[in-house]
Amino acid sequence: MQVGLMGLGLEAYWAQFEGLEQRLRGYIDVVCGKLQGSSRTIINLGLIDSAQKAITAGHACREQDIDILLVYVTTYALSSTLLPVVLRARVPVVLLNLQPEAAIDYYSFNRLKSRTSMTGEWLAYCSACPVPEIANVLSRLSIEFHQVTGMLHEDPTCWDEIEQWLRAAEIVHALSHSTLGLMGHYYSGMLDIVTDLAQISGRFGIHIEMLEVDELSALRQEAGDDDIARKMDAFREFFQIEDDCTEEELVRAARTSVALDGLVQNHGLDLMAYYYKGTGVPENEDTMSSIILGTSLLTGNSIPVAGEYEVKNSVAMKILDLLGAGGSFTEFYAIDFKDDLVLMGHDGPGHPGIAQDRVRVRPLRVYHGKVGNGLSVEMSVKHGPVTLLSVAEDREKGFQLLTAEGESVPGSILEIGNTNSRYRFSVRARRFVEQWNAAGPAHHCAIGLGHHARQIEKIAQLLGLAYKKIV
């Protein structure tokens, strides 16, 4: 990711106040150092203090293909100095209103020998002065901007906030360089999950590849014995395979998993959604009824896979994965009114990395509501804080990131060969379910470890999407 950093100043001050320009340039270097990270490149545009320099900086933003622009307001500066940069950069803007210290040393300040020295010292603390002016101009032009207010030093709250903006920008960058594979078709009758693919590509920048089930079936036939044996070893490493799982079913699942790896490599996939009956074509039915272990491995290795052709939810899973939270497929199962909990889970792929215990592999005689049988995974999400995320349609902004923070808690679950967990939220279970449903999401969502609502809100803002948190 390319991060543009500029300091904003006023050229007229430098001749009047000795040392001020050098002092502010030093502050910019401090900010630049704090922004460094292995996953980003900082493009330091320096101290921009005139309209002409602003035009040059704006062109540099475009030449360097920056993803986000951080504007460190070092002292009073003219709004006309910032505008040319913003107009040319055309990326999200974060205003950094950072003082060098918590407060001016009034005692020492008032004992300076000259009014000129006093003014120069005051201007070094004057970051807050032009921010209203800048905000006014950007608002009148309908240019989105964000703010972080704090101190250059010894202000972890401020710098955590800046880091969250950068992390959000990294996720937006990753999404815009991702390829989503879609294989099969929608599950008949699930109208809520039907998605406008132009909106997916246009709002998230995700490239979409339409995949053929026949290709996956053909790749299964090409899978070699050594590859299948290695995949069987991977199954035993990732999963707890129950005694009633037959060798034949494990080999069938391993063959499909090897084929899935080939499909991902052939198309450069970063996320995927699928559903296909395979009725009337034995090879395809064989493929689709043995896909769960392989798609679970992919999900656990940062290529989230959503069943039932849930396009929107594959994106939600990817966002949680990029946050380091995991991201597993889930939906509402039932409400436990006795314990005031919501039971959630899903059949199909699970995320081994967020399981409370080792994921169990169990045979099913029939997939409920689907063609075929085979092996399924059963797991509970690790006990502790969790975040739900749904990518839901929004009439005005295309999509809304709908989220909630809760807790996965221990207790009895339904041992039906699915993912299945018990969740407690800050509001009562019945109220939570009503509030979530009122936001109008599809019936699937993604679950991840930890609390990430603040980070998700920033992702929504950078993408220009709506955001809602259930509290």
Question: For residue 245, which of 363, 364, 366 has the smallest C-alpha distance?
Answer: 363
- Strand intervals (E) in 238-357: 239-241, 271-275, 305-306, 326-336, 341-346
Amino acid at 339: D
Whole-number pLDDT of residue 369: 52
Whole-number pLDDT of residue 348: 78
Mean predicted confidence (pLDDT) in 1-23 = 97
Contact status, residue 435 vs residue 427, Cβ threshold 8 Å: yes
Total number of residues shown for the chain: 471
**Beta strands at 384-394 and 398-409: parallel, antiparallel or unpaired:** antiparallel
Kindly state the percentage of the chain with pLDDT values over 70: 98
Distance (Å, whole) CA 55 – CA 89: 10
In angstroms, the Cα distances linking 226 to 232, 254, 296, 351 are 10, 11, 21, 25
Distance (Å, whole) CA 152 – CA 95: 13
Domain boundaries, the chain: 2-175, 179-470
Whole-number pLDDT of residue 419: 84
To 10 degrees, the CA torsion angle through 77, 83, 84, 89? Answer: 120
pLDDT of 372 higher than 60: no
Strand partners, 390: 402
Q: What is the DSSP letter of 442?
A: -
Distance (Å, whole) CA 471 – CA 117: 51
Cα-Cα-Cα-Cα dihedral sign, residues 163, 166, 170, 176 = positive
Which residues neighbour 406 within 8 Å (Cβ) at sequence distance 6 or greater?
Answer: 385, 386, 387, 388, 423, 424, 425, 426
Mean predicted confidence (pLDDT) in 183-191 = 93
Which residues neighbour 103 within 8 Å (Cβ) at sequence distance 6 or greater?
Answer: none
Whole-number pLDDT of residue 278: 73
The reported pTM is: 0.94
* 70-125 pLDDT per residue, tens: 999 999 999 999 999 999 999 999 999 999 999 999 999 999 989 999 999 999 99
* 29-65 pLDDT per residue, tens: 999 999 999 999 999 999 999 999 999 999 999 999 9
Whole-number pLDDT of residue 371: 52
Question: Residue 347 burial by CB count (10 A; 0-12/13-18/19+): exposed, middle or buried?
Answer: buried
**Beta strands at 444-449 and 384-394: parallel, antiparallel or unpaired:** antiparallel
Contact status, residue 170 vs residue 163, Cβ threshold 8 Å: no
Q: What is the DSSP letter of 416?
A: S
pLDDT of 420 higher than 70: yes
Distance (Å, whole) CA 464 – CA 400: 9
Tell me the CATH class for 2-175.
Answer: alpha beta
Amino acid at 265: Q
Fold of domain 179-470:
L-fucose Isomerase; Chain A, domain 3 (3.20.14)
Contact status, residue 269 vs residue 216, Cβ threshold 8 Å: no
Question: Residue 210 burial by CB count (10 A; 0-12/13-18/19+): exposed, middle or buried?
Answer: exposed
Distance (Å, whole) CA 303 – CA 25: 43
To 10 degrees, the CA torsion angle through 225, 378, 431, 313? Answer: 0
> What tokens does 203 get?
């709002």
